[in-house]
Every structure is written in C-alpha cells, then in structure tokens.
Structure 1
Amino acid sequence: MALTVDKLMNDERFSGDNVLQFLLYLPFGILLLVVRLLLALVLWVASIILPNKSGVRQMLSTLACWTFGVYVKLKGTRDPRCSVMVANYVSCLDSLAASHVLGTISLRKWKVPPFFASTLGIRNAAQFVRKQHFAECPSKPVLLQPEGGPTNGKGLLKFTDWPCPLGNRVQPVAISVERMFTNVTVHGGDSRSSFPWADALWFLCTPVTVYSLRLLPPVERHDDDDAAMANNLSAAIAEALQIERTEFKWEELRPRGRAPPSRRAGGAGDVTTLARQVKEVLPAVPIHDILRDLAKTRSVDVTITNFLEGVTPYTPEDTTEPRPSTSKPRYVTPAPTGVFPKSAKERQLSFQERKAQMIAEAKKRYIEKNGLNLALNNC
C-alpha cells in the first residue's frame, strides 16, 4: 500500500504502548536530565575557551554525544575521493552523529547560537565557498540532506536536485535511528526557521538514542542531469533502508489541522524576506532569479552559495550609481561636515561661504517666483 503524507510524520511523542514504562522510568529520566544539563553547561564553556583545533573539535563532539545520549554505529567505508555526502533526514541531530564518526560539516538549517552550531557540526553556507573549503579542508566532506526536513523514517521524501552540481562523485549515507519509549521527531511546527528544542530536550532525558550510519558505494555522474543524479542517490538510500520512495515534498508535511504552507498567512512574505536577505549580499543578482532559486532551496545560505558557485546562472544587474553631470551646477548646497573649524580665520571663511550660498539661493527663489527671464550670472 502506498504511503500517505500522514504516515511519514509523528504527531505524538510516545511510541507504541510504552507510556506506562516511560512513567516508571520518569524519575530516573529527570535525574538524567539534570546531569546532562550540567554537562551541557561544561560543553558551552569548553566550546568558548578552547581553541578551534581538530583534536578539540573531536573532543567537543564526543562530549556533545554524551550530553544528548547519542550512540553512533558506522557501517561501510568512506570513499576519500568524495567531498560531498548525501543522506536522508531523520532528526535534528543527524549532523552531530555524522560529524562525530565521519568528521563532516552540515549546512545550517536553523538559527542557533554559534557555539551550538559548531558543536553539532553545522556551518553557515556563507562561511565557505565550496572551492575554498575543499582546498583548506579536503578531509572534511560536506553532508547534505536534500529532503529538506525530517520524517519518521518510514519513507523517503522527494530529493531536491540543488546539491547535485556540487560534485560528480557523491557518496550516499543511509541514516536510521532507534530509541525506547518516545519518537525522535514530532512534527509540531515548521522546523525550517527555528531549531526543534522540544525534540532536543527529549534527547537529554532519554537513556540512549542509537544512530546507524551506513556508507553506500559512491554514485557517479556520467551524462546524467541534476534530476537524474538526485533520483539515483534517492534510490540507493531507499534500497539500503528498505523503505519506499515518495513524490512528496517537505512543504507538504504538516501536522493535522494545519493549513498547507501556501495558504498560511505570511507564506509568501517569508520568501520575500529571504529574497531581500540574499539581495543585500548579492545586489547584482536580479530578484526574479533569487525567488526562483529560493523556491527550490528555501535557504538563504544555499541560494547565496548557488550564485557564488555558478550553480544558478543569472544576468547581473547594473548596480552602479548614475554618474553626476559634467556641467557645473549653478547652485550647490555644501554638505555639512560636522567639524567645527579650529581657527577664527577658518570659521570666518566658512561663514562667508554659507552667507554667499544663502544669497544665491534667495536670488534663485526670487527669480523663479516672479518668472523673471534673467541670466543669474548677470544679477
């Protein structure tokens, strides 16, 4: 039977008939939550005072896994020739699990504090241009999740094709997650703009959350276009997880009772706001090209990277200001400098200039008011 949209989401926190078991576990869970919050405080302080070295980052990644109760199992071998990895989207801590065992970095998906993003292996797309990043950090591949948002793992959303131009040889990663008592992700709102703190809180009080990352054979681009490349990656991950691929997009997933994103107030305004942010960074890019790319990526950082890398072509607009006329204007009001002259002589000259300007402006207004056909230079 084909999957429907509601079967790809978890609307309830508890899974199965484990509510009673969780209530018995609750006192220990509260104690574990307090301990992990103290550990999170240590993680925050350490991320601020320690230098940004590879060994330190690995230590912070391990500490973050302890804090959130994340245990990662890795299967398969990483291809060192692949600088781009593509995975399915299961939870808000996928980037932490991948960063811990693979050393990957992920593009920012939410507005989170810088230390928190760094600990989770998240980086703004604007912080690195692809060629520069891979020249400086060839051993740190980029992890991309073209689904756009998390599901409950029962099916695979339609992949967008925007990551495909980043590499001709891409390694797929199949991610699955297991946890007792509660579901890892609950679709209580739109997780695009804000970090799902409720999901993260349940990581803190749950005994352990087990991630399984399976590295699949690389997928190479031959004569395939971007859509065919995305389809091949999606097929490889779906086959490894033994789940069904769907044609649903992340925008179609919504909790019961909520209107579709296109009908919600502010839906078009959100895209317009994102377009203005891109326009501030790239003023030469036409707004219609920005809107077209944002319709696919829904991300300011990814859209900026697409234009910088030439992934999305555009015809630059003329952003130069109009050149002033070469003819000498008759009356020019001097712009105030905000600097008070130090000497009396300079102050006197400044006063004379302002006095002459005021007389000239008065003459001009008088002539225009009375319609006199006189040459101002002869007045």
Structure 2
Amino acid sequence: MVLTVDKLINDDRFCGENVLQFLLYLPFGLVLMAFRTVLALILWIASIILPNKSAVRQILSTLACWTFGVYVKVKGSRDQRCSVLVANYVSCLDSLAAAHVLGTISLRKWKVPPFFASTLGIKNVAQFARKQHFAECPSKPVLLQPEGGPTNGKGLLKFTDWPFQLGNRVQPVAITVERLFTNVTVHRPSDSRTAFPWSDALWFLWTPATVFTVRVLPAMERNEDTDTVFSNRLRQAIADALQVGVSELRWEQLNAGRGARREPGAELLRQARRVREVLPRVPLPDILRDLATTRSVDVTITNFLEGVTPYTAEPEPDAEPEPSTSRPKYVTPAPTGTFPRSARERQLSFQERKAQMIAEARQKYIEKHGLHVLNC
C-alpha cells in the first residue's frame, strides 16, 4: 500500500460510528474536564513550590499523567549505555509518556511556560548543549523524534539525519496510542514545530483515558554506517515493531500537500501535466484534486484507471482529415488501451506514447515541407 498524505493524517477529531455512546458520555466528559482542570492548577502550584529533584519530578510526572488521563504501558527495558533514544511521533504528549516510564527528556522548539515544559519532560532545543550533555550526564537520556511532527501512526515519515550524529549506539522506541471516541492528533495547514497544539491537549482532559504503549527495542550500533543508512535502519526497526510501512514524505510535505488542495503549486502542476499525457480526457481539476492527496503520478493514474477516483471524461477533439491516404512511415502502432498496473510497465507505456508523438510530429514535418526521406 502506498502511504499517501491522506493515509498519514487525521482531518477529523471524531472517530467511530457509535454516536449514541458519545452523547451518553458527553456530560461525564465535561465534568471530568472540570476536575482535571483543577488538577492542572494544583500541578502548576506544585511545580513552582517544590524543588527540582528527581523524586519530585517523578511525582509531578505522575500528577501530569492523572491530569491528562494518560496511562502508560512499557514493554522492554532501556539500555543504560544509551544516552539517545529515537521514537516515532504520534501525539503532543509522547514526551510525557516516555518521561514517566523511561526518565527521558525531549527536545522541542515549543513556546510553552517553563513549568509546563519541565512537567512534560520537554527541554527547549535552543538551550540544550547536546555534546556536553552526553559527555557529562549519560544517565539522563534524550528522546528524539526525527519525523519532525505527528502522524496518525499508520506509517513512518522520512527521518532527518541530525539526531544520529550524536552517538554510535542508539535505542529505538515504538509508541502507539489508543483512545475512545476521538483521534489523538488532528492536522491543520497552520501547524508548525514552534506552536504547541493546545487543542489536542484539551481533548486529553475530556477523554476518559488515553493509553500509551511504549515498546523499547534492542539498541543498535552504528558500525561503519553513514548517517542516512543508520537512520534508515532505525526507522525500519521501529516500522517492523509497529507493523506499518515507511514513507519518503517529510512532515513539512504533509501540510504542503494539504495546502495544495486550495492553491496548486508548480510541482503539482508539473505532475498534473504528466498525468494528462497518459490520460488526456481526465479533467485537470480532477487530476489536481487527486494529486493533492496522493502526491504521486503513478498512484493518481491508477486511481483513475481503476475507478477509485470518479471523473467525467472530456469530449474527444474533432479528428482532422488525413493529408494522405498512404500510411505514415514513421508512426508507431497505437496503444491498445489496456494500461498496466505496475509502475515499471506504466513507465514503459509512457515512453511508448512519447515515441509515438515524436514520430507523428516528424511525419507531419516531412509532409509539410515535401521532403523525401529514404525508409531504412
């Protein structure tokens, strides 16, 4: 299955079809949110008054889990020799779940109050001296999520390489989240790495419980691998543990693809022209709409051919009269109309159409200028 943009993000907050259960729970959810808001105030006061010690931080972490209704299950154990852990990214509270069971800190560019950041196990990336930390404090591991932003957990985005320059031994972590009624993360075109998703956090207060499963995998050695090869090995290990696929998309491309639904860019128009070369009767708006979701020429062509994406075919242009009754010497046989399903065969079909168009253009040029070309 090709991991397109629409398969990796959630546009809607609500999931499931049992509306009656949701309506019955709604009053209780509002009361629970009010109670947890009071807990949040207590958490805020406690974080200001209590000293910054490990035992106190563990208490605050537990109180934060109660506040947000987070229940964490951990599988496996952390390698004490690893100061870097790498995980997939599925929610804004991944750092809280990991900090609670693994004692990690997470690097973020979020602009949030200091007490809130420390309680959730977040440290500002701009204030973090990475090399000094790993040299002086290996007992406090850092959790890195190199996808750059959250997905719905159905696939892994392309990793950035910078986290893997920090050490030769890294431990992968696979995180999954389960919740009733609502999706954990909802994507908007305005999402950025510097703004904390407060709307997602508020739904944690309303939901009865959000269950995190943190699976700690065996540590991996870099050996002689480059940064890219090492990151791909770690990503594949996490994907295998989650039983999901990997994508070559980056997190920035998810929002770019969604924004393209309103205003197509140059890249989208270039891809649309390639689709039109193969399927000339498919309307351009329909092609752009499907490409904004798939971001793949091959997948879009397959969607139209297999009827996944419906469209109204444009009328064929009036055929021009033949300038000569004799058969052109340089025209290749016309396509059969059966379009293959594999990407390799589709590319071959595209090359055949291109060769046919070149041959037809050459024949018209010969006939227009009355040239005599020997048939070799």
TM-score (norm 2): 0.68
Structure-1 residue corresponding to 2:16: 16
Q: Which residue of the partner structure matches residue 234 of structure 2?
A: 233
Matches of 1:257 and 1:210 in 2, distance apart?
Answer: 29
Q: Could you tell me whether the CA contact under 8 Å between 1:164 and 1:229 is conserved in 2? A: yes
1:229-308 mapped onto 2 (5 Å cutoff):
229-254=230-255, 258-259=259-260
1:161 counterpart residue number: 161
Q: CA RMSD in A?
A: 1.9
Question: Structure 1 residues 261 and 60 mapped into 2: Cα distance closer, same or farther (>3 Å)?
Answer: farther
For residues 136-155 of structure 1, the aligned pairs below 5 Å read 136-155=136-155
Aligned position for 1:101 = 101
1:333 aligns with: none
Unaligned 5+ runs, structure 2: 266-376
The answer to whether the 8 A contact 2:172-2:238 is kept is: yes
User: What displacement does 1:263 show?
Assistant: 8.4
Deviation at 1:257, TM superposition (A): 5.6
The residue that corresponds to 1:27 in the other structure is 27
SS at match of 1:158: coil
- Cα distance, 1:165 vs structure 2: 0.5
- 2:304 aligns to what? none
Q: Is the 8 A contact 2:15 2:183 kept in 1?
A: yes
Q: Kindly state the Cα deviation for residue 77 of structure 1 after the two structures are TM-superposed.
A: 1.4
- 1:262 is displaced (CA, Å) by 11
Q: CA separation in 2, counterparts of 1:129 and 1:168?
A: 18
**Native 8 Å contact 2:109 2:126 kept in 1:** no
Q: Is the 8 A contact 1:252 1:260 kept in 2?
A: no
Q: Percent identity?
A: 74
**Separation in structure 1 between the aligned mates of residue 172 and residue 241 of structure 2, nearest angstrom:** 10
- The C-alpha deviation readout for 1:296-330, integer Å capped at 9, x for no partner, is xxxxxxxxxxxxxxxxxxxxxxxxxxxxxxxxxxx
CA apart distance, 1:19: 3.2
CA-CA distance at 1:193 after TM superposition? 2.1
Q: Which residue of 2 aligns with 1:194?
A: 195
1:82-110 Cα offsets, whole Å, 9 max, x none, are 00000000000000000000000000231
SS state at 1:131 partner? helix
Partner SS, residue 253 of structure 1:
helix
When residues 231 and 261 of structure 1 are mapped into structure 2, their CA distance, relative to the original with a 3 A threshold, is: farther
CA contact (8 A) 1:10 1:185 kept: yes
* Structure 1 counterpart of 2:139, one-letter code: S
Bigger shift: residues 255-264 or 115-124: 255-264
Question: Secondary structure of the equivalent of 1:254?
Answer: helix
> Could you say which residue in structure 2 is the equivalent of 1:73?
73
SS of the residue corresponding to residue 251 of structure 1 reads: helix
SS at match of 2:255: coil
Number of corresponding residues: 264
The alignment partner of 1:73 has SS state of strand
Counterpart Cα distance in 2 of 1:153 and 1:254: 16
Q: CA 1:203–1:247 in 2, change beyond 3 Å: closer, same or farther?
A: same
Counterpart of 1:211 in structure 2 is 212
User: Is 1:38 aligned to residue 38 of structure 2?
Assistant: yes
- For 1:177, the equivalent position in structure 2 comes to 177
Distance in 2 between residues matched to 1:219 and 1:257, nearest whole Å: 35
- Structure of higher CA gyration radius: 1
How far apart are 1:131 and its partner, in Å? 3.4
| CA distance in structure 2 between the aligned counterparts of 1:60 and 1:263, rounded to whole angstroms | 47
Counterpart of 1:376?
Answer: none
Shift of 1:209: 0.2
SS at match of 1:173: strand
How far does residue 125 in structure 1 lie from its aligned partner after superposition? 2.5
Q: How far, CA to CA, are the matches of 1:180 and 1:223 in structure 2? A: 45
| TM-score (normalizing by structure 1) | 0.67
Give 2:91's aligned residue: 91
Cα displacement (A) at 1:126: 3.4
Residue identity opposite 1:10 in structure 2: N
Answer with 194-203 or 1-10: which moved more: 1-10
What's 1:223 paired with? 224
Q: Deviations over 1:319-349 (max 9, x none)?
A: xxxxxxxxxxxxxxxxxxxxxxxxxxxxxxx
- Checking the alignment, whether the CA contact within 8 Å between 1:187 and 1:255 is kept in structure 2 is no
2:5–2:254: 8 Å Cα contact kept in structure 1? yes
CA distance in 1, matches of 2:126, 2:111: 14
Give 1:140 deviation, angstroms. Answer: 1.1
Q: Distance in 2 between matches of 1:255 and 1:205?
A: 30
What's the offset of the Cα at 1:261?
12
* Residue aligning to 1:61: 61
Residue 233 of structure 1 aligns with an amino acid whose one-letter code is: L
Partners of 1:55 and 1:256 lie apart in 2 by: 45
Q: Runs of 5+ in structure 1 lacking a partner?
A: 265-379
Tell me if structure 1 keeps the 8 A contact 2:109–2:125: no
